[in-house]
Amino acid sequence: MLAVIIPAHNEAHLIGRCVRSVVRASGHPELDDEEVRIFVVMDSCTDQTGPIAASLGAQVLSIDRRNVGAARALGAQAAVTQGARWLAFSDADTIVEVGWLAQQLRCRTDAVCGVIGVEDWSCHSAAVREDFVATYRDRDGHRHIHGANLGVSAQAYQAVGGFRPLESNEDVALVEALIAAGASVAWSAATRVVTSTRLDSRAPRGFGAALRAAGLRLAAQEGTVDEGGPAIAL
């Protein structure tokens, strides 16, 4: 059995499209009809995230931590307990490509770090988009680590103790632990997702925070911010 774990905090407006994309990826012919179970971990949710996810076939778990590392760990533990051999992780504001799971397994490694793409830059300036395009390594061997696009064998995951309860960079900590333990890691540009650039991103030091910081840095370089803060809308 394959498992997909998605942490969520009040994501009723996004969780449906995320889960539907995983359902589509679950039907890829290369998976040979192997069962795929989707686990949505509601972390301190007060909206309809859970009912929407459940209506689409996901198993819904609850936690009250506001901690993405703890949420991912809870989902992973449930999946392992139910017999999952492979754990794939994404985020509620992300859409996975139809070949996402198949491509992870095709790598034949202990873990797979994939890449992200962005379709909607409306929350940010053109300078932020251009900076991302210029600096992001969208190719094999990239060395990016995204919780929105990560896969690991259940055996390797358990061997390093799984996710730590970190509010940010829990994905980086896991991959670093895997590398230190000698696990094989694929840095694949063929394993792809499309994610959000929204300003109200959940992780304090995640992708969204990095984009906001880039916006401030670029605006300061252009002289469009003063000491009181940003003078432009990012």
| Confidence (pLDDT) at 214 | 60
Tokens describing residue 82: 């139910």
Mean pLDDT of 120-139: 87
Residue 150's SS3 state is strand
| Confidence (pLDDT) at 131 | 86
Question: pTM (2 decimals)?
Answer: 0.87
What one-character DSSP code corresponds to residue 175?
A: H
How many alpha carbons lie under 13 Å from residue 127 in its C-beta half-sphere?
Answer: 15
Identify the band that residue 231 occupies on the pLDDT scale cut at 50, 70 and 90.
Answer: very low
Query: Which phi-psi region, left, alpha or beta, contains residue 169 (left: φ > 0; alpha: ψ -120 to 50)?
Result: left
Residue 153's SS3 state is strand
**Please, are residues 86 and 3 in contact by the beta-carbon 8 Å criterion?**
yes
Tokens describing residue 211: 């984009």
pLDDT of 233 higher than 60: no
pLDDT by residue (tens digit) across 174-203?
A: 999 999 999 999 999 999 999 987 767 666
Residue type, 118: V
**Residue positions counted in the chain:** 234
Please report, for the chain, the start and end positions of each structural domain, with discontinuous segments joined by +.
2-225
Tokens describing residue 87: 């754990």
| Confidence (pLDDT) at 226 | 34
Mean pLDDT of 52-73: 98
**Please, are residues 174 and 161 in contact by the beta-carbon 8 Å criterion?**
no
Closest CA to 142 of 167, 174, 117: 117
pLDDT by residue (tens digit) across 7-40?
A: 999 999 999 999 999 999 999 999 999 999 999 9
CA dihedral (58, 64, 68, 73) in degrees, to 10, reads: -70
| Confidence (pLDDT) at 229 | 33
pLDDT of 55 higher than 70: yes
pLDDT by residue (tens digit) across 144-158?
A: 999 999 999 999 999
Residue 6's SS3 state is strand
Tell the CATH topology of 2-225. Answer: Spore Coat Polysaccharide Biosynthesis Protein SpsA; Chain A (3.90.550)
**Please, are residues 141 and 167 in contact by the beta-carbon 8 Å criterion?**
no
